[in-house]
């Protein structure tokens, strides 16, 4: 595997884009890849933070964009929704037909002055809904760290985006009000999600017991009246 350029990264921030494209384009002229797919995958490995970090909970917006492109590629081939996208998949969409096509799509997506504003709008539009908290945190972090916000502002946006029931549990049963960083808030949200699951299980048991006892009471309350038979004259 050809190593990445240690000094090159792209988080999705438009301010990084021109330098990123310069270094990548220059390297593509020098490096001989065995296939266009390997060249594309090599470019995508630079979608990361300056320290090279990408994790399950915090990944660069550019990396999330890349995963979205792989999902589009999977849908184009009729792969099931349950399919876990991978760079091992066949590349079947125009954007992944060559390294040049991929670079062109990058330019269309991030090389405009609206890219940063689009990221900001997507961040404010994001809502957890019924989504699992771990998955939501990953999506939220991919957007929020690409926008210039203070830690307090990040926490406020996160709180506004959380499922209302989950937020209520977090406030009542965790140290939510004392938490001052987004990392702390997200840890508490995961704790609240665990509490919510337990409460849901308990409530389901209570409902089942109430239903069972209610059925027994109904049966006990039934009084059979004696039937009135009229004599039959033969």
Residue 232 lies in a domain: no
pLDDT value at residue 56? 56
Domain of 81 in residue numbering reads as 1-113
Residues 183 and 106 occupy one common structural domain: no
Residues 73 and 150 occupy one common structural domain: no
Q: Mean pLDDT, 10 residues at a time, over the chain (234 residues)?
A: 92 88 94 95 94 66 87 88 82 95 91 73 90 88 81 95 96 94 95 94 89 66 50 47
Residues 143 and 58 occupy one common structural domain: no
pLDDT value at residue 232? 47
Residue 177 lies in a domain: yes
Q: 194 near 170, Cβ under 8 Å?
A: no
Residue 173 lies in a domain: yes
pLDDT value at residue 188? 96
Residues 149 and 99 occupy one common structural domain: no
């Amino acid at each position: 595997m050809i190593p990445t350029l240690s000094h090159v990264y792209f988080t999705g921030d438009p301010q990084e884009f021109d330098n990123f494209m310069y270094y990548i384009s220059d390297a593509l002229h020098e490096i001989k890849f065995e296939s266009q797919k390997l060249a594309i995958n090599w470019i995508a490995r630079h979608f990361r933070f300056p320290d090279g970090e990408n994790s399950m909970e915090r990944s660069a917006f550019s990396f999330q964009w890349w995963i979205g492109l792989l999902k589009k590629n999977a849908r184009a081939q009729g792969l099931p929704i349950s399919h876990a996208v991978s760079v091992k998949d066949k590349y079947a969409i125009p954007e992944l037909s060559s390294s040049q096509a991929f670079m062109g799509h990058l330019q269309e997506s991030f090389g405009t002055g609206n890219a940063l504003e689009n990221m900001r709008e997507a961040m404010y539009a994001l809502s957890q809904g019924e989504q699992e908290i771990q998955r939501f945190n990953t999506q939220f972090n991919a957007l929020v760290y690409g926008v210039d916000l203070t830690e307090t502002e990040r926490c406020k946006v996160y709180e506004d985006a959380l499922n209302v029931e989950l937020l209520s549990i977090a406030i009542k049963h965790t140290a939510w009000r004392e938490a001052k960083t987004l990392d702390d808030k997200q840890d508490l949200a995961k704790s609240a999600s665990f509490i919510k699951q337990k409460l849901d299980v308990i409530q389901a048991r209570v409902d089942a017991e109430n239903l069972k006892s209610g059925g027994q009471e109904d049966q006990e309350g039934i009084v059979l009246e004696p039937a009135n038979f009229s004599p039959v004259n033969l």
